[in-house]
Amino acid sequence: MDSTYSLIPGTPTVEDYCRLRIAAGLTPRSDTAARAALPNTIVGVVVRHGGAAVGMGRVLGDGLFYQLVDIAVEPDHQGRGLGKAIVGGLMDALKRQAPAEAHVSLMADGQAYRLYEQFGFRPTAPASIGMAQWIGR
């Protein structure tokens, strides 16, 4: 990530959150859902370029179990190390505040697992498998 970008601790605005999710190809979220979810951010970062939010990431958790979510970078800014800076910023913050026995998980879409491997994340199968369910779909 070059010096034209700033990695800022904090939670994105509802507008930036919804826009960045769509731009990065993540499942769109409504303003209502975003307003309910964002206050539950344990650790968050926003990448700014020229004053505009171009990337973000968040961590949810209860003090022992954590999940990395919403890692998103606008396509025009991908390939510049922003994803790595986002995950690095989130993990650095977690290592400062989470207990040593904390468990951190994530869902890696497509080839994103390559990014997360750089931070020590490994597939859990066959010992365990990720499972999910969409409510109301």
For the chain, which domains are there? 5-117 (3.40.630.30)
In the predicted structure, residue 87 carries a pLDDT above the cut 90: yes
Per-residue tokens: 31 = 């303003």
pLDDT of residue 104: 96
CB distance 82 to 5 below 8 Å: yes
Question: Region 9-16: what's the mean pLDDT?
Answer: 98
In the predicted structure, residue 5 carries a pLDDT above the cut 80: yes
- In tens, the pLDDT along 30-81 reads 999 999 999 999 999 999 999 999 999 999 999 999 999 999 999 999 999 9
Torsion angle of the four alpha carbons 128, 88, 112, 72, in this order, in degrees rounded to the nearest 10: 120
What does the buried/exposed string (b/e) look like for 78-91 if buried means 16 or more CB atoms within 10 Å of the residue's CB? eebebbebbbbbbb
Show the CA angle centred on residue 96, arms to residues 113 and 15, nearest 5°. 60
Per the prediction, the chain carries an average pLDDT of 95
Residue 131: pLDDT band by 50, 70, 90 thresholds?
Answer: confident
pLDDT of residue 115: 95
pLDDT of residue 1: 87
| DSSP state string for 13-35 | PHHHHHHHHHHTTPPP--HHHHH
Residue 137: pLDDT band by 50, 70, 90 thresholds?
Answer: confident
- Phi, then psi, of 28 in degrees rounded to 5: -60, 150
